[in-house]
Amino acid sequence: MNKRLLALLALSLLLISVPALVAAAPSEHHHYEQKNTPDWKSYPADIQALKLQLDKIRTEQKSLFVKMKSQHDLITEARKTLTTDQRTTLKEPAKLIIEQMKTTRDSIHALRKQKHEAWDSFYAHAESKKWSVAKSELQAIIKQKEQIVQKQQNILKLQKQLIALVSPTHESHVHSGE
């Protein structure tokens, strides 16, 4: 029975950290944006300036994704080194962190859905040259992307907590009473 619980914990750590990593990854919509958008240079200067902001956010997201992937790999490796007793001890604290990661991941999904809808609206308004409304949609997209970045940063923090929790040095302190 004990081994079964440990296997479930290990599986849940893997199942949670991978979807959280995927949820925080740069959006597939980016490719849609590039393929289906007319030349940005044909847009008014204020919209082009907003596009530069989007590019900067996208670059930051790519960097965050690389860090998240690296930390995911550390979690996976550290988890492999845990003994049965260590896994049992860590089950509850890990569960709390994992639940926070799930909640954050779900928030990212909701924001992405809103962002995709705003992109569709932006394209429609830009095509009909309703620049004021298109600009408002692009500003909304920027705000949504900034919120997504904040949530991705939160996932990084949660991953760091999980790493600290499952790292071998942490475990030796737990068992030695420090």
Instruction: Classify residue 111: in a domain, yes or no.
Output: yes
Does 74 reside within a domain? no
Q: Is 92 within a domain?
A: no
Distance in angstroms (rounded) separating the CA atoms of residues 157 and 140: 26
Element (H, E) at 48: helix 45-80
Rounded to whole angstroms, the Cα distance separating 170 from 62 reads 30
Tally of domains in the chain: 1
Least confident of 93-97, 125-129, 171-175: 171-175
> Is 159 part of any domain?
yes
- State pLDDT tens for residues 23-42: 555 554 444 454 466 688 98
Task: Specify if 130 maps to a domain.
Answer: yes
- pLDDT tens column, 66-104: 999 999 999 888 888 888 888 888 888 899 999 999 999
**Half-sphere exposure (CA, 13 Å, Cβ side) for 37?**
21
Q: Flag whether 153 is in a domain.
A: yes
| pLDDT digit string, tens, across residues 130-170 | 999 999 999 999 999 999 999 999 999 999 999 988 876 54
What is the pLDDT, as a whole number, of residue 47? 94
Identify the domain containing residue 142 by its residue range. Answer: 107-171
| 120 occurs within a structural domain | yes
